[in-house]
Amino acid sequence: MIEDKDILPYNFFAYKGIYTGAFENMRYRIWRTGEKPDFKLNVCAWAGPYAYPYVPDEDKISSEFEASEEGRLAAIQWLNEQFAKREWEPKEY
């Protein structure tokens, strides 16, 4: 299970940081998009072992959240829900 302490605080994303991580065989990426004042946190997950740019878009799942600390926490919850309801078998490309 991904915990709050595993993901950097929202301030990291406020300065356009891109966070990547893994939990077992699920890989994920969190980053901020949009223009002020309509920023969003984007979250994407896919089966490993490959990095984000090497996985086709159709093999990724994603969601958007409010750009705030609450949005960051919602993104962590979403990642945990996705992990629980999917098979994360390694893919070969």
Every domain of the chain and the residues it spans: 4-85
Which pLDDT score, from 0 to 100, does residue 15 have?
93
| pLDDT tens digit sequence for 21-75 | 999 999 999 999 998 889 999 999 999 999 999 999 999 999 999 999 999 999 9
Residue 77: pLDDT over 90: yes
* Residue in the block written with tokens 């950097």: 8
Which pLDDT score, from 0 to 100, does residue 28 have?
98
Is the pLDDT higher at 92 or at 45? 45
Work out the angle at residue 64's Cα, subtended by the Cα atoms of residues 15 and 44, and round it to the nearest 5 degrees.
85
Full-model pTM? 0.93
Query: Residue 75: CB partners within 8 Å, gap ≥ 6?
Result: 7, 30, 41, 43, 63, 65
Q: Of 23, 21, 93, 33, nearest to 63 (Cα)?
A: 33
CA-atom Rg of the chain in angstroms:
13
